[in-house]
Amino acid sequence: MTTVSLLDRAISVLRLNDAGMFTKPGPHQYPHQWNWDSALIALGLSHFDLPRAHLEIRSLLSGQWQDGMIPSVVYHSMPSDYFPPSQFWQIENSPSAPPVPTTGITQPPLLATVVRRIDSRHPNPDFVREVYPSLLRWHRWMHTARDIDDSALACIIHPWESGTDDSPRWLRLFEAIQPEALPEFRRGDTRYVAAAERPNRSEYERFIYLIDVFRKLNYAPTALLAHSPFLAQDVLFNAILFRADEDLRALGVSLGEPTGEIDGWLDRVQGNFNTRFWDEGAGLYYDYDVRSGNPIPVNTAATFLPLFAGLPSREQAQRLVEGHLLNPVEYAPSGQVRHWVTTTARTEPTWEPRRYWRGPVWVIMNWFIAEGLRRYGYDGLAETIRQDTLGLIETSGFREYYDARDGSGCGSDDFSWSAALALEMSHDSK
Ligand code: GLC
């Protein structure tokens, strides 16, 4: 009997989920094209099929709005049982909506970072020239249409925009939102995955309520900033954006484009990031609730994302890593917990080992964290996390997330970014 290598199995998962123009994040649970999933999927595809990686990116860009937003989901008119379906968003009431069906919100902007990484391995100036204007317009939209205080930090208007839907970071904000006249809806996400591994009902109602508010505002950017009941400056989103701005700048330089506008964003975010998010007492980065004007003091793995962007000083990095990541009561494996890195600190009363973004291990977070650790010279710890992550995949398959206690898989099977990142993280050791 021959054993199929992890890399061959990863390639099979990406092929299995290949819908022709785009790759589904999961075969049943996520049957359309998701924004940051597709960026990572393109990175994975680039290891064995570069033209297909380019097609993945082109397909995502086909959903770009006139105002520059790249939406969280491009539906590509694929029939599916996914909820919410494309019609639910009613984006046709916005003058900015694209001709293809999409959601009306965005997701963390990983794409420029991915395009740069692929280009550094397989230089292709024509492709960079083709996608650069779209990337620039998206970044400009985040730094303007989503900037409420002239800080150049971007606001998110829905937890889905954070990519970490039911993270305990958003609980307090949700408590302040009382859905009135909730539209009729029936969840689809618990059809294929156990309800105990998915968001609670009260959060789900608020996810839907927010969409109803946005569609009544016809997705007008100024109205959304003024009236969205949920408005946050997210550490994870803004760290990814800063890193992506740097990567966009490098792409611009390679094309001989002027970079003054990007330099302006980088300067302003660099100046404002630590002031806005760093909590000196806790030694953690906290998200910011714009509506109440308060930091959100919840300790989740989002606090490590600034390392990925090179934003902390050496001292801040040391406090994050030595004070928290290596702390056996918060994140480091100890006792019942055997794997890196739980998405919520285990000292948080809201930590739940199998529920979605409430605490399981996610491959994407481990990848960000390992990359960030390497930037700050913590190579040994980065390697430990990389190997632990690949070990989880080897043992439990390409799952959406994992229970850190026994390494068992949760959520969707055959999850595309777990496969894409297995390819990328295996490459890291070469
Ligand atoms: C969930 C995740 C989000 C991801 C999507 C598709 O909504 O929270 O980050 O992009 O699934 O995988």
Q: Over the stretch 304-318, which tens digit does the pLDDT of each residue have?
A: 999 999 999 999 999
Question: Both tokens of residue 62?
Answer: 């086909």
Q: Kindly give, in sequence order, each residue whose CB lies less than 8 Å from that of residue 317, ignoring residues fewer than 6 positions away.
A: 307, 376
Residues in the chain with pLDDT values less than 50: 1
pLDDT in tens, 51-75: 999 999 999 999 999 999 999 999 9
For residues 251 and 115, is the Cβ–Cβ distance under 8 A? yes
User: What's the Cα-to-Cα distance from 231 to each of 26, 54, 227, rounded to whole Å?
Assistant: 29, 34, 9
Task: Check if 81 is active-site.
Answer: no
CB of 207 shorter than 6 A to ligand 1: no
Q: Identify the CA nearest to 228 among candidates 153, 176, 158, 142.
A: 158
For residue 4, the model assigns a pLDDT of 85
Nearest to 40 by CA among 27, 28, 22, 64: 22
Query: What amino acid is encoded at 133 in this protein?
Result: P
3-state SS assignment for residue 225? helix
Which structure tokens are listed for 38?
Answer: 């597709």
Decide: 385 and 340 in contact? Cβ < 8 Å: yes
Minimal CA–CA distance to 361: which of 197, 213, 211, 230?
A: 197
Q: How far apart (Å, rounded) are the C-alpha atoms in residues 162 and 166?
A: 10
Residue pointed to by tokens 């006792």: 335
Of the residues 147, 165, 287, 330, which is catalytic? 165
Q: Give distance in angstroms: CA of 46 to centre of ligand 1.
A: 21
Q: Which of 400, 403, 413, 424 is catalytic?
A: 400
Catalytic residue flag (residue 56): no
| Per-residue model confidence (pLDDT) at position 1 | 46
Q: Which amino acid is at 346?
A: R
331 lines ligand 1 (CB under 6 A): no
Alpha carbon dihedral 83, 88, 92, 94, in 10-degree steps, equals -100
Between β-strands 232-233 and 278-279, what pairing exists: parallel, antiparallel or unpaired?
unpaired
Of all protein residues, whose CA lies closest to atom 9 belonging to ligand 1?
163
Ligand 1 centroid distance, CA of 254 (Å): 32
Query: Is 165's C-beta closer than 6 angstroms to any atom of ligand 1?
Result: yes
Which amino acid belongs to residue 280? E
What are the angstrom distances between the C-alpha of 31 and each of 19, 26, 232, 358? Answer: 9, 7, 28, 23
| End-to-end Cα distance, the chain | 28
Threshold 0.85, pTM exceeds: yes
What's residue 43's pLDDT? Answer: 98
Ligand 1 centre distance from Cα of residue 113 (Å): 19
Q: How far apart are CA 50 and CA 40, in angstroms?
A: 13
Q: If you take atom 3 of ligand 1, which residue's CA is the nearest one? A: 163
Cβ–Cβ contacts within 10 Å for residue 315, how many?
9
C-beta of residue 293 within 8 angstroms of C-beta of residue 287: no
Q: Provide the pLDDT for residue 430.
A: 54
- Go through the chain and tell me how many residues it has: 430
Distance (Å, whole) CA 400 – CA 413: 7
Say if CB 279 and CB 310 are below 8 A apart: no
- Tell me if 398 sits within 8 A of 9, measured CB to CB: yes
Residue closest to 251 by CA, chosen among 35, 65, 41, 57: 57
Q: 138-161: b or e for each residue (b if 16 or more CB lie within 10 Å)?
A: bbebbbebbbeeebbbbbbbbbbb
Please name which of 313, 279, 314 lies closest in space to residue 298, comparing C-alpha atoms. 279
What is the reported pLDDT for 77? 83
**Residue 37 CA, closest ligand 1 atom number:** 10
Looking from the CA of residue 165, the nearest atom of ligand 1 is 8
Cis ω for the linkage preceding 84 (within 30 of 0):
yes
Q: Read out DSSP for 226-271?
A: HH-S--EE-HHHHHHHHHHHHHHHHHHHHHT---HHHHHHHHHHHH
Q: How many CB atoms lie within 10 A of CB 428?
A: 15
Collect all residues with Cβ–Cβ distance below 8 Å to 320 and sequence separation of at least 6.
283, 284, 285, 303, 304, 306, 307, 312
